[in-house]
Each structure stands twice: as structure tokens, then as C-alpha cells.
Amino acid sequence: MSVRRVVAGNWKMNHGPAEARRFFDALGAVPSGPRVVVFPPVVSLASSVASAQGVELGVQNIHAAESGAFTGETSASMARETGAALVLIGHSERRHLFGESDADVAAKIRRARAAGLEPCVCVGETLEQRRAGRLEEVLETQISAALEALDPGAPYMIAYEPVWAIGTGETATPADAAQAHALLRERMRARHGEAGGQAPILYGGSVKPANAADLMDADEVDGVLVGGASLAAESFRAIIEAA
């Protein structure tokens, strides 16, 4: 059974509520076929829920606790109540700018599962790690921690993000993506059996309309996690159509 293609957009710290409404008005109804997901800022989630057509919505982060004295944070249950169906966990910016560890990622995965949110767990190596020949080591460590926390009986996605290709204009080649995705798929099948063979693996890193189709044609690339190109309805729709 083939894996349904996924096109996901991560807006990062862009598009407030009014701009989110304008984006979804411009995007309109999305073509049938690929699964389309957008991760807006949490302050724009409610307006996105009200205006998106055929697009699933998620949040970019959650706290590992259900509630408490955590100023500025969002719990998984709050995100779910507001309309989120998914959550990004372990994005490279969370790992490298905010110091999130594999243990933090695992704790957030468990909290997401308890709240009924589908995790999209991000993994990937830095340029220094890649140049040092540590690609397999880094991915093995990150995916093992994630798979231990994930439930093979519930849906989840993995996103491979070569950190050196995020926001830099550099992009992994389809062969680069296929190599990393094959490694991840092997580990997912070994841990979760048939479910690990069916969970989508997305490629994320400077995805644009010009390269999206070639990336998605690579082996074990089931979709894309789009950053900057997801901020404009026209370019995001072009990527959806490429899927």
C-alpha cells in the first residue's frame, strides 16, 4: 500500500490572524489527492481554523506538561481545543536555538499522544555533523528516541530536515534525501513493523515550487515540509499541485 503524499507548511513566526485569513482566502480549496497541512503561529490558529478549506492545521510547538506555571507556553490540550490536529515536535530551530534535547522531544511526543494530536517529529544533521560523516549516527540517535515515544497504533509523521539546507537556499539533492529517508524507514520498520513502513517521511529544507516535484519523486520521500514558500498562497499551491 502506497503512502499518501503530504504537503505541510510551517509558517514559523509569520502571519498573524488577519494575514492568515488573507492567505487561506487566496489559497481557496486545495486539490484533492495530497494531504495538506499548515502549522501557523498559535495566535493565528483560531483564524486559520475559521478560514482554511480542506487544510489540516497544527501548532509549531507544545509544552511537555499538561498545565502549570509556564508563562508563554501552550499545552497540547489547549492546542487541540483550539482546533489543531497535529503538532511539530523537535524542529531544528527548537533543537538548536532553544536547546531542546532528544529527551525533551520524547516528552512532548508523549504529551501530544495523550491529547490526541498527531506528532510530526523533525530530525536532521548540521553541516558540521554531515562533513564529519556523522549523518547515520545523528539520525539513528534522534529517530530512536522519537520511536520509543511514538505509538505505532496511532498516526505520526517524520520530517527529515538537513539543518544546513533550512533557510540557506541550499537544498539536499533527491539522492541525498533518498539516502537519509531510507535510513529512517529502515529504523521505523525495525521498531514499528508495518506501521513504520506506512508513516509518511517528509523532506524539509528550502523546498520551492521549482524543486518540489523532483524531491517528492525520490525514494521514500512521501512529501515535503515547506518553510518560506508556504507563506505565499501562490507558491504553496504550486507545491501542492506538484504533489
Residues noted as catalytic: 91, 161
What is the CB neighbour count within 10 angstroms for residue 4? 13
Nearest to 86, CA basis, from 229, 231, 240, 225: 225
With both helix axes pointing from N to C terminus, report the angle between 233-242 and 17-27 in degrees, rounded to the nearest 10.
50
* CB hemisphere CA count around 155 (13 angstroms): 9
Cα distance between residue 27 and residue 15, in whole Å: 14
Tell me if residue 123 falls in helix, strand or coil: strand
Contact 138, 162 (CB under 8 A): no
Q: Which three cell numbers stand for residue 118?
A: 498527531
Cα distance between residue 82 and residue 188, in whole Å: 31
